[in-house]
Structure 1
Amino acid sequence: MKVSLVEGDLLDQEVDAIVNAWNRNIIPWWLLIPQGVSGAIKKRAGLQPFRELGRMGAIPLGGAVETTAGQLPFKSIIHVAGINMLWRSSEYSIRNSVRNAVSMVSDRNYLSIAMPLIGAGSGGGKADKVLELIQDELTKLTYDGEVVIVRYRKKNR
């Protein structure tokens, strides 16, 4: 597996699939005000991925589900339950989210995936610690593709 770390926007990566750091999917998506990665996806992809997500029901903590990418150029979006019911991430939720997302893209024969710092931001995790957990978990996995870890950075306009 080839792993790289970039600074930028998750939605600007040239990959087959992206990861959306989501929640347990117990509260209907339309009752939530998506923030961070989810908010950016909703703004640029449209509502279709979230409508699909809403029909999938609860996701186990650290679990992953797949939807279409809506108006985004990816083959799909992998939504991971990176935060618990109290909107907080943990080592368990981060590691399992990474493991399940990579397993899903591997099963689908996607060649590349980009993921944000799952559990940082609104999940409360410290970015450096989250990055360390993601990188460590990736060393334990087998995947023949490329994983791009994206540290969000606003574009200078």
Structure 2
Amino acid sequence: MPVSVVEGDLLDQPVEAIVNAWNRNIIPWWLLLPQGVSGAIKRRGGVGPFREVARAGPMPLGSAVVTSAGRLPFKAIIHVAGIDMLWRASERSIQDSVRNALAKAREQGFRSVAFPVIGAGSGSFDEARALELMRQVLDVEAGALDVSVVRFRP
């Protein structure tokens, strides 16, 4: 299936699962002030998904963990460790995050998933370049998954 790039709010997408570009669970979530996608999830979905992802322990850079969606209307949230300890994304962390999120989506049997532009928020990575890196992986590895990448536009 072709990958679509849309503008809007990740939390308003008609998909089974969304991807949250998260930290690596090194700093406890309750000490963080979630911003961007994580902040929106916390405000609309509650803290349940963050408690669940914290139980996974430290996440290797580029890895993915699946949790419930809290009060959000999705089957799950796939949290990816897209930024390093200095809050920076890299080409590898972006592409590994996409690859591992796709693997988790397939393992869970999801048919549709929406990604934010990984690394372009708190990770301070150039949005156009991050999107290009994501497309390199998605165009080859999405397979039968219905995938969209959501460029945040309030």
Would the TM-score normalized by the shorter structure come out above 0.5? yes
C-alpha distance in 1 between matches for 2:138 and 2:72: 26
- Does residue 102 (structure 1) correspond to residue 102 (structure 2)? The answer is yes
- Does structure 1 retain, via aligned residues, the 8 Å contact 2:62–2:95? yes
Report the counterpart of residue 75 of structure 2 in structure 1. Answer: 75
After superposing the two structures, state which structure 1 stretch, 49-58 or 73-82, moved more: 49-58
Counterpart residue type for residue 51 of structure 2: R
C-alpha distance in 1 between matches for 2:94 and 2:110: 21
C-alpha distance in 2 between matches for 1:142 and 1:70: 26
Number of residues of Structure 1 aligned to a counterpart in Structure 2: 154
- Does residue 44 (structure 1) correspond to residue 44 (structure 2)? The answer is yes
- Tell me, which stretches of 5 or more residues in structure 1 are unaligned? none
- Does structure 2 retain, via aligned residues, the 8 Å contact 1:106–1:144? no
C-alpha distance in 1 between matches for 2:151 and 2:10: 8
Alignment of 1:1-157 (within 5 A): 1-154=1-154
C-alpha distance in 1 between matches for 2:27 and 2:150: 27
C-alpha distance in 2 between matches for 1:108 and 1:2: 21
TM-score by length of 2: 0.98
Task: Give the C-alpha shift of residue 7 in structure 1.
Answer: 0.1
Q: Which runs of 4+ in 1 moved over 4 A?
A: none
Task: Give the C-alpha shift of residue 107 in structure 1.
Answer: 1.4
C-alpha distance in 2 between matches for 1:32 and 1:77: 19
TM-score by length of 1: 0.96
- Tell me, which stretches of 5 or more residues in structure 2 are unaligned? none
Which secondary structure does the structure 2 equivalent of 1:2 belong to?
A: coil
Which secondary structure does the structure 2 equivalent of 1:149 belong to?
A: strand
C-alpha distance in 2 between matches for 1:142 and 1:115: 12
